[in-house]
């Protein structure tokens, strides 16, 4: 009986998640920035999965004043919410050496600041409702700061830690908070990049995420093998990581 | 202009549908006007809530405001000659029968709980076990008074288009504030109840259909777990007004009515604990089996029962719905035209077995056609199915409900907002090209 509000689903993993939930006949409400993209996606999902109830709410995550009205509108069309899933995320590839402050700040704004705002609203609603699940798609990238994209790592680390705090805050109220840490997922974000391995398709990743969220898992990697790699990565000493660390 | 109160948790009766809403609780017309103004000032449309006994989302409002109408519960007048009582929309059936029975009257239509309010009953156009003989409560309402947007109260008599726009209109914008209801005169406060079992679905439907003209109240409890030849076996209870014997009490007092309500020797906390342990599990199969078996062993028998004891089964164990936490439960009530009922219900039962989600409690009733524009009952039967919602069954349950939606569409059946937890009423209306 899941009623899902999905933030950031017009592309990639989010779109695949929307498809998985729609295929299961759930109520899916999608928050997206572009009205046109959103309408296309909602119509497509409604046509392909008539058992589902799919709605779209326009919300530009960089417009702070719009977040609360959008959240309330999403709740109103969903009826109530069993799962609030924050998937929105951007990654800018630089040359791996030069910082680009404006683009770095945008990553922080979408991946972390907007997440804090929206998940905070959701947390308040769920706390009073006394049940339900909040989940954020963070990343294995948040486990360590790497030389290739420090701002992306930082934004995901912020999301991971924020979710951990929420989990501890909401646990007494019967609310589950889950952190999803995908490795490489085959989407536009990773397209054309070299040196990828263990790549999982967006559809498979979405299915795994939906299944594990439904089981109430709190922190998990997609796929599981990334957990091992992460364990190793997190324990590489600083001086070694500095010299030999991955990009 | 006062700000809205701090949001609190508001739940449907099934505890599955939930909202976090500022709740306004006006106790007078003036306060209701203020509450409406406060909502309007925030630009938010309120949902009106009676006692919150609708199973689903009818009385919750996501994050928006809820106006609870239970404070407007005054009885404004009663005419002994006609039996017409004028009362505030927030008056509960419980308060109403306690007022009526000492005077020899009884509400013409009552639901399985006495905690519902009159306003909610009219907005949902509720039915009872006497659905064939008495129809819905709207059939017995002489007039409703609503608070219009401009602040005046308008009384709408029955038989007008405006009346049809209020009775059964759960999304009515103007709140119902007063109801004039024609009560029914009863010679006795007791019923003669006859209980018997029917071994399969065809026999159940036939028994209900045969009993509908001879008996005022007709209801069956179906054991949904049974497969094979016994599919759809039920315990049927039919009842008529008790024929008073010489010198027998008429049972017109509240005390006599309540004296008949007993749940056996175990105290309520023990029963609640037992329910909590069994409600969401396959143990309900045994409960259903036991209910059927004990009725079968007992054979066809008659007994006398007070109106209260017979009518308000949901109130025997107060707080029983809490046993379904944390997931809550949903009810899905399928209304089917009589020609399609047997095949459709057979399919509905098999769908449950196939998905592995079987109703823990199922009630079957006979209904007459409700010709009003917002009527939900065709000439036929309804099967109300209770399902606990758990982490394990949630995905399968939503699939099952969608299959029921398709079944209703295919067979010309209807869904009913007071029981709808999964948006079926809106979906069906959409699929048929209308609005709910």
Q: 């609310």: which residue's tokens?
A: A175
Q: Is B359 helix (H, G, I), strand (E, B) or coil?
A: coil
Least CB–CB distance from A214: residue in B16, B61, B395: B395
Q: What are phi and psi of B367, to 5 degrees?
A: -125, 150
Which helix (H) or strand (E) segment is A134 a member of? strand A133-137
Q: What is the mean pLDDT of chain B?
A: 94
Check pLDDT > 50 for residue B222.
Answer: yes
Number of structural domains in chain A: 1
Q: Is B264 part of the contact surface with chain A (CB cutoff 8 Å)? A: no
Rounded CA-CA distance B148/B131 in Å is: 31
| Boundaries of every domain in chain B | 8-68, 75-185, 189-436
pLDDT computed for residue B1 by the predictor: 47
How far B389 CA lies from chain A's nearest CA (Å)? 7
Alpha helices in chain A (DSSP H): 12-23, 35-48, 64-78, 101-108, 114-129, 150-170, 202-214, 225-234, 238-244
Least CB–CB distance from B17: residue in A76, A79, A130: A79
Helices (H) and strands (E) in chain B, counts: 13, 19
- Cα B60 to chain centroid distance, Å, stands at 17
Beta-ladder partners of A54: A28
Flag if B63 and A76 touch (Cβ within 8 Å).
Answer: yes
Rounded CA-CA distance A36/A81 in Å is: 25
Taking CB atoms and an 8 Å cutoff, what residues of chain B touch A53? 423, 427
pLDDT computed for residue A132 by the predictor: 94
Q: Which residues contact B203 (CB under 8 A, 6 or more apart)?
A: B233
pLDDT computed for residue B425 by the predictor: 93
Q: Is B60 part of the contact surface with chain A (CB cutoff 8 Å)? A: yes
- Nearest chain B residue to A70 by CA: give it: B63
A193: domain CATH number is 3.40.50.720
Rounded CA-CA distance A136/A156 in Å is: 10
Q: Which residues contact B319 (CB under 8 A, 6 or more apart)?
A: B272
User: Please, what's the b/e burial string for B180-202 (b: 16 or more CB within 10 A of its CB; e: otherwise)?
Assistant: bbbbbebebbbbbbbbbbbbbbe
Which helix (H) or strand (E) segment is B55 a member of? none
Least CB–CB distance from A80: residue in B7, B62, B397: B62
pLDDT computed for residue A1 by the predictor: 62
Q: Range of A32's domain? A: 3-244
pLDDT tens digit sequence for B268-279: 889 999 888 888
Rounded CA-CA distance A148/A191 in Å is: 16
Name every residue in A having a CB less than 8 A away from some CB of B: 1-2, 24-27, 51, 53, 71-72, 75-76, 78-80, 124-125, 128-131, 174, 214-216
Check pLDDT > 70 for residue B435.
Answer: no
Mean pLDDT by 10 residues, chain A (247 residues): 89 94 94 94 95 94 94 94 95 91 96 97 96 96 94 97 98 97 89 86 96 95 95 94 85
Check pLDDT > 80 for residue B218.
Answer: yes
Taking CB atoms and an 8 Å cutoff, what residues of chain B touch A1? 16, 327, 330, 389, 394, 397-398, 422
pLDDT tens digit sequence for B6-30: 999 999 999 999 999 999 999 999 9
pLDDT computed for residue B2 by the predictor: 60
Q: What is the dihedral of CA B184, B185, B187, B193, to 10 degrees?
A: 0
pLDDT tens digit sequence for B327-378: 999 999 999 999 999 999 999 999 999 999 999 999 999 999 998 888 999 9
Q: Is A231 helix (H, G, I), strand (E, B) or coil?
A: helix
pLDDT tens digit sequence for B125-176: 999 999 999 999 999 999 999 999 999 999 999 999 999 999 999 888 899 9
What pLDDT band is residue B265 in, cutting at 50, 70 and 90? confident
> The domain B189-436: what is its CATH number?
3.30.70.2520
Beta-ladder partners of A201: A186
pTM recorded for the entire structure:
0.93
Span between the terminal Cα atoms of chain B, in Å:
34
pLDDT computed for residue B436 by the predictor: 60
> The domain B75-185: what is its CATH number?
3.30.465.10
Q: 């109801």: which residue's tokens?
A: B179
Q: Which residues contact B351 (CB under 8 A, 6 or more apart)?
A: B400, B403, B404, B407
Least CB–CB distance from A125: residue in B17, B63, B327: B63
pLDDT tens digit sequence for B43-91: 999 999 999 999 999 999 999 999 999 999 999 999 999 999 999 999 9
Check pLDDT > 70 for residue B179.
Answer: yes
Q: What is the dihedral of CA A49, A55, A58, A60, to 10 degrees?
A: -70
């Amino acid at each position: 009986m899941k009623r899902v509000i999905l933030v950031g689903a017009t592309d990639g993993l989010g779109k695949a998640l929307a498809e998985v939930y729609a295929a299961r006949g759930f109520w899916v409400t999608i928050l997206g920035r572009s009205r046109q993209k959103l309408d296309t996606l909602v119509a497509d999902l409604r046509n392909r999965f008539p058992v589902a109830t799919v709605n779209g709410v326009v919300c530009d995550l960089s417009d702070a004043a719009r977040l609360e009205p959008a959240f309330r509108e999403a709740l109103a069309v969903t009826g109530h919410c069993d799962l609030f899933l924050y998937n929105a995320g951007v990654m800018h590839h630089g040359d791996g050496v030069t910082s680009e402050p404006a683009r770095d700040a945008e990553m922080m704004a979408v991946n972390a600041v907007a997440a804090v705002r929206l998940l905070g609203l959701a947390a308040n609603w769920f706390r009073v409702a006394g049940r339900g699940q909040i989940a954020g798609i963070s990343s294995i990238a948040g486990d360590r700061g790497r030389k290739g994209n420090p701002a992306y790592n930082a934004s995901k680390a912020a999301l991971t830690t924020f979710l951990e705090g929420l989990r501890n805050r909401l646990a007494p109220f019967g609310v589950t908070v889950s952190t999803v840490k995908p490795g490489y997922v085959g989407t536009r974000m990773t397209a054309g990049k070299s040196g990828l391995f263990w790549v999982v398709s967006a559809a498979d990743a979405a299915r795994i995420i939906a299944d594990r969220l439904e089981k109430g898992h709190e922190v998990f990697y997609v796929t599981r093998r990334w957990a091992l790699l992460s364990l190793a990565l997190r324990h590489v000493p600083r001086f070694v990581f500095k010299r030999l660390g991955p990009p | 202009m006062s700000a809205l109160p701090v949001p609190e948790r508001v739940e449907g009766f099934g505890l599955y549908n939930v909202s976090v809403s500022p709740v306004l609780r006006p106790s007078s017309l003036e306060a209701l006007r203020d509450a409406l103004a406060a909502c309007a000032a925030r630009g938010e449309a309120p949902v009106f809530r009676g006692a919150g006994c609708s199973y689903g989302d009818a009385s919750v409002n996501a994050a928006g405001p809820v106006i609870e109408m239970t404070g407007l519960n005054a009885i404004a007048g009663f005419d002994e000659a006609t039996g017409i009582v004028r009362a505030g929309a927030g008056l509960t059936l419980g308060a109403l029968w306690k007022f009526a029975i000492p005077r020899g009257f009884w509400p013409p239509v009552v639901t399985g709980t006495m905690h519902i309010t009159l306003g909610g009953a009219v907005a949902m156009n509720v039915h009872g076990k006497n659905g064939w003989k008495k129809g819905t409560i709207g059939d017995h309402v002489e007039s409703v008074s609503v608070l219009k947007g401009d602040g005046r109260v308008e009384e709408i008599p029955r038989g007008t288009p405006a009346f049809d726009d209020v009775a059964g209109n759960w999304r009515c914008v103007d709140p119902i504030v007063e109801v004039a209801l024609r009560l029914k005169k009863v010679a006795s406060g007791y019923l003669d109840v006859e209980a018997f079992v029917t071994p399969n679905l065809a026999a159940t439907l036939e028994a209900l259909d045969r009993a509908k003209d001879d008996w005022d109240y007709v209801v069956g409890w179906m054991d949904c777990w049974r497969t094979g030849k016994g599919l759809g076996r039920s315990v049927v209870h039919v009842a008529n007004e008790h024929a008073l014997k010489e010198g027998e009490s008429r049972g017109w007092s509240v005390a006599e009515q309540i004296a008949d309500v007993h749940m056996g020797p175990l105290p309520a906390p023990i029963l609640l604990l037992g329910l909590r342990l069994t409600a969401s599990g396959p143990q309900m199969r045994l409960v259903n089996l036991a209910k059927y078996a004990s009725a079968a062993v007992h054979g066809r028998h008659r007994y006398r029962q007070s109106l209260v004891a017979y009518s308000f089964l949901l109130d025997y164990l107060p707080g029983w719905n809490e046993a379904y936490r944390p997931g809550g439960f949903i009810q899905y009530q399928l209304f089917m035209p009589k020609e399609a009922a047997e095949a459709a219900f057979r399919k509905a039962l098999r769908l449950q077995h196939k998905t592995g989600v079987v109703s823990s409690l199922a009630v079957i009733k006979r209904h007459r056609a409700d010709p009003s524009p917002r009527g939900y009952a065709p000439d036929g039967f309804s099967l109300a199915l209770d399902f606990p919602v758990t982490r394990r069954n949630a995905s399968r349950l939503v699939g099952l409900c969608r299959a029921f939606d398709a079944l209703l569409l295919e067979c010309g059946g209807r869904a009913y907002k007071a029981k709808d937890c999964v948006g079926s009423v809106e979906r069906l209306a959409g699929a048929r090209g209308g609005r709910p």
